[in-house]
Amino acid sequence: MDINVQFAEGVDISKLNALADKLEGYPTKENIFIARAQVNINHALSQTKHSSDQLGIRLISEDKKYVIQIKKTGFTFSRVNGYESWEIFQSKAKDLWELYFNNLNPIKITRIGLRYINRINIPALNFNLEEYFETYPKVFSGNNGNLSGFFLQLQVPQPDDNIAILNQTITSPLEPGYTSVLFDIDVLDRKHLDANNQEELWNRFQLLRMQKNKLFDDSITNKTKELFS
């Protein structure tokens, strides 16, 4: 879950550190930096200048299952592995967002997003993609499932002027004899919203979740759905 924001004035890193200290159960803290490079070309001489600025703080829960990013540009909350349910995830996210909002006072939300990275473990080494996916790169006839890797990206407009970005690729399998396909769905709402309008914020997230669910369901076959049962 990602929420991009604007502030009336810039946020000092000391405020982010103070907020990080209030987050119990997240003992691991890492600084997030943004790097910049500037190239100046003057006749035959070129110079490159590098600089960096601390963008925020990344916090990892004690059980390593949750990650929070509190940044000058917004708030990100992630479940790393073993996703349980939207209700549990949303409840935790609401509490954490409330802390971010009350301590830093953003005035505007400029974009929100939900991203789900699904690992689909197929019990075969050679197979035709259309057996398992409705969304896939079409391979020439006669290939007979002989494919060691691919990458597919699609941008799909959604209702209410939202956008979905779909990425699909093969990754390292979890065990021998399997093929692992990553199906990555990122749905975005880029409309601006008053940061005080909490009800509208969570209604928009609910819509993104519904759009994500439909995209996922429409992109896989019944044979894939049987793998989850």
- CA–CA distance, 146 with 123 (Å, rounded to integer): 15
Check pLDDT > 90 for residue 174: no
Confidence (pLDDT) at 10: 84
At 13, the pLDDT band (50, 70, 90 cuts) reads very high
Q: What is the pTM of this model?
A: 0.88
Query: What does the pLDDT look like over 32-71, one tens digit per residue?
Result: 998 777 777 765 666 677 667 899 999 999 999 999 999 9
Q: What is the mean pLDDT of residues 110-119?
A: 96
pLDDT at residue 144 in the model: 67
Average pLDDT for residues 104-129, to the nearest whole number? 94
The confidence score (pLDDT) of residue 146 equals 67
| Range 100-121 burial, b when 16+ CB lie within 10 A, else e | bbeebebeebbbbbbbbeeebe
Instruction: Find out whether 81 and 154 touch, Cβ atoms under 8 Å.
Output: no
Rounded CA-CA distance 121/115 in Å is: 19
The per-residue pLDDT for 43 is 59
pLDDT at 88: 95
pLDDT of 161: 96
Which residues, other chains included, contact 179 with Cβ-Cβ below 8 Å and sequence gap of 6+?
121, 122, 124, 125, 127, 170, 173
Compute how many other C-beta atoms are within 10 angstroms of the C-beta atom of residue 6: 13
On the question of pLDDT at 145 being above 90, the answer is no
CA angle 12, 13, 17 (to 5 degrees): 130
Task: Give the mean pLDDT of 69-80.
Answer: 97
Distance CA 57, CA 60 (A): 10
More confident residue, 84 or 140: 84
Average pLDDT of span 78-107: 94
Ordered DSSP codes for the chain: -EEEEE-SSPPPHHHHHHHHHH-TT--EEEEEEEEEEEEEEETTEEEEEEEEEEEEEEEE-TTS-EEEEEETTEEEEEE-SS---HHHHHHHHHHHHHHHHHHH---EEEEEEEEEEEEEEES-SS--GGGTBSS-----TT-TT--S--EEEEEEEEGGGEEEEEEEEEE--SSTT-EEEEEEEEEEE---EETT-HHHHHHHHHHHHHHHHHHHHHHB-HHHHHHH-
Distance CA 182, CA 170 (A): 6
